[in-house]
């Protein structure tokens, strides 16, 4: 245990290690569902792949209930106005709420949405895995808060990797996803205990003390961040929920196969954007509005260029490559994949404009845009999918994010003009 602890904590160059380990951790976390989906498809077939896809979509929503958007708030609390005990207590409460919400959702789906006991159990297990991830985040936030992002990244990478590998080995042996999911949950809990919890005493004292006024303050202060993340994820996943309600698990799997490349656009855009984030903030604080606007416009064109490249790939080799990866015939979804690549570009723009608006300190205005789109998604998703199938799901996703990106673009340039008439 001491050797493992030293591996997590020791560093000769914290800045370099933070960058390297955080990049590796972020990539693995982003690719987690794609890798697991690939293994499930090749091991158990399309139907189980579809079950996992909707389970992961539901679990991801539950993750945001547990995490509640507190990470950035906690990390930026450099003067420690709230203690780690307060953040930890809040996380325990939020995760307890998440467990209750997961139980209720699973029972509702089993009783009234024709889920089999098997499918309901898979959904619940994925939600519990996401609860462990959400709980772990409060520890990661503490490491980063005291300047040790490298420790956060290493322990996150360790937990994610152990969980995935153990699950894939269990599935290869048993071909039973319910058993393998249970083993995955046990593995991530053990990985958490031997990593994040093991090194925490070097960074803070772990107490279970509930100061309810401070816990309530965190809930109130972080609600806009939580609502934004939650609503954006709901809008992104609305087609998946509609497919779950109106189509089959096999259709769900096929949609998720062609949906996987969507986030690649955002990843590439973020790698280009992240290095200039600090410069952007300084230009806004120093009222260098022309320089600020130039960076914003340039990044928009970068995202559009990446999107055009992604569309070209989708129309040529996209479906054949994905078909080989997932052992499925996806030739009928060539146009759908291209439509989703446009949606991926819109998602990258939404995230970019949200960051810019946050830099300008107008982030409270973001919530209204998310809520309106979430309501629109709820009203239109089932009708679009029941009428037009997977094509309807793809168009719905792209149109929703195009609307949101347009709204955020208008906000961005309005606030720029307001600062520099």
pLDDT tens, residue by residue, 43-74: 999 999 999 999 999 999 999 999 998 988 88
Q: Are residues 327 and 180 in the same domain?
A: no
Burial class for 367, CB neighbours closer than 10 Å (0-12, 13-18, 19+) = middle
171-201 burial, b at 16+ Cβ within 10 Å, e below that, comes to beeeeebbebbbbbbebbbebbebbbebbbe
160 pLDDT tier (thresholds 50, 70, 90): very high
* Residue 138 shares a structural domain with residue 278: no
Residue 295 DSSP SS3: helix
- Domain total of the chain: 2
Residue 419 in contact with residue 357, Cβ under 8 Å? no
- Asked if residue 229 is part of any domain, the answer here is no
Asked if residue 355 has pLDDT above 90, the reply is: no
Does residue 232 form part of some domain?
Answer: no
Residue 88 confidence (pLDDT) above 70 = yes
The Cα 160–Cα 118 span in angstroms is: 24
Q: Do residues 168 and 61 share a domain?
A: yes
Range of lowest pLDDT (91-95, 129-133, 147-151, 361-365): 361-365
89 and 165, same structural domain? yes
Higher per-residue confidence, 168 vs 145: 168
Same structural domain, 212 and 285: no
- For residue 404, pLDDT over 80 is answered with yes
**pLDDT recorded at residue 376:** 93
**Cα separation of 291 and 282, whole Å?**
10
CA-nearest of 182, 222, 214, 208 to 69 is 222
CB neighbours of 200 closer than 8 A, spacing ≥ 6?
139, 142, 206
Which of residues 135 and 224 earns the better pLDDT score? 135
Residues 186 and 270 reside in one and the same domain: no
Question: Over 90: is that where the pLDDT of 276 sits?
Answer: no
Q: Give 20's contacts (C-beta < 8 A, 6+ positions apart).
A: none
Kindly state whether residue 235 falls inside one of the protein's structural domains: no
Query: Residue 183 sits in which domain range?
Result: 1-221
- Are 276 and 154 within one domain? no
Point out the domain boundary residue: 168, 191, 221.
221
- Of 184-193, 349-358, 368-377, where does the model show the most confidence? 184-193
* Residue written as token pair 């889920």: 115
Q: Chain-wide mean pLDDT for the chain?
A: 90
- Enumerate residues 6+ apart whose C-beta is below 8 A from 46: 249, 250, 253, 254, 328
- The arithmetic mean of pLDDT across residues 119-142, rounded, is 96
Where residue 147 falls among pLDDT bands split at 50, 70, 90?
A: confident
């Amino acid at each position: 245990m001491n050797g493992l602890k030293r591996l997590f904590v020791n560093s000769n160059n914290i800045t370099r290690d933070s960058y390297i380990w955080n990049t590796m951790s972020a990539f693995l976390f982003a690719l987690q569902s794609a890798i697991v989906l690939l293994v499930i498809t090749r091991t158990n077939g399309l139907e189980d792949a579809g079950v996992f896809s909707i389970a992961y979509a539901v679990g991801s929503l539950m993750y945001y209930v547990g995490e509640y958007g507190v990470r950035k708030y906690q990390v930026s609390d450099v003067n420690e106005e709230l203690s780690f005990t307060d953040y930890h207590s809040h996380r325990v409460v939020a995760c307890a709420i998440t467990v209750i919400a997961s139980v209720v959702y699973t029972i509702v789906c089993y009783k009234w949405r024709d889920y089999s006991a098997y499918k309901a159990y898979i959904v619940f297990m994925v939600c519990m895995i996401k609860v462990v991830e959400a709980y772990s985040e409060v520890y990661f936030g503490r490491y980063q808060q005291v300047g040790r992002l490298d420790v956060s990244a290493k322990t996150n990478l360790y937990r994610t990797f152990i969980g995935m590998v153990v699950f894939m080995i269990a599935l290869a042996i048993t071909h039973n996803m319910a058993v393998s999911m249970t083993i995955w949950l046990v593995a991530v809990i053990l990985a958490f205990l031997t990593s994040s919890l093991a090194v925490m005493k070097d960074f803070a004292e772990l107490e279970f003390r509930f100061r309810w006024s401070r816990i309530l303050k965190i809930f109130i202060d972080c609600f806009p961040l939580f609502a934004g993340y939650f609503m954006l994820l709901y809008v992104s996943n609305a087609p998946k929920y509609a497919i779950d309600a109106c189509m089959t698990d096999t259709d769900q799997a096929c949609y998720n196969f062609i949906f996987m490349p969507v986030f690649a656009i955002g990843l590439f855009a973020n790698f280009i954007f992240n290095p200039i984030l600090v410069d952007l903030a300084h230009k806004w604080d120093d009222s260098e509005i022309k320089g600020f606007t130039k960076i914003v416009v340039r990044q928009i064109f970068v995202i559009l260029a990446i999107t055009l490249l992604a569309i070209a790939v989708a129309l040529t080799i996209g479906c054949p490559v994905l078909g080989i990866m997932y052992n499925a015939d996806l030739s009928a979804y060539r146009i759908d994949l291209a439509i989703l690549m446009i949606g991926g570009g819109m998602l990258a723009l939404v995230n970019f404009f949200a960051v810019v608006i946050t830099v300008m300190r107008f982030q409270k205005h973001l919530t209204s845009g998310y809520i309106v789109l979430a309501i629109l998604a709820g009203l239109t998703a089932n009708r679009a999918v029941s009428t037009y199938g997977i094509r309807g799901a793809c168009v719905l996703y792209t149109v929703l994010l195009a609307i949101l990106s347009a709204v955020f673009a208008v906000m961005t340039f309005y606030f720029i003009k307001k600062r520099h008439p």
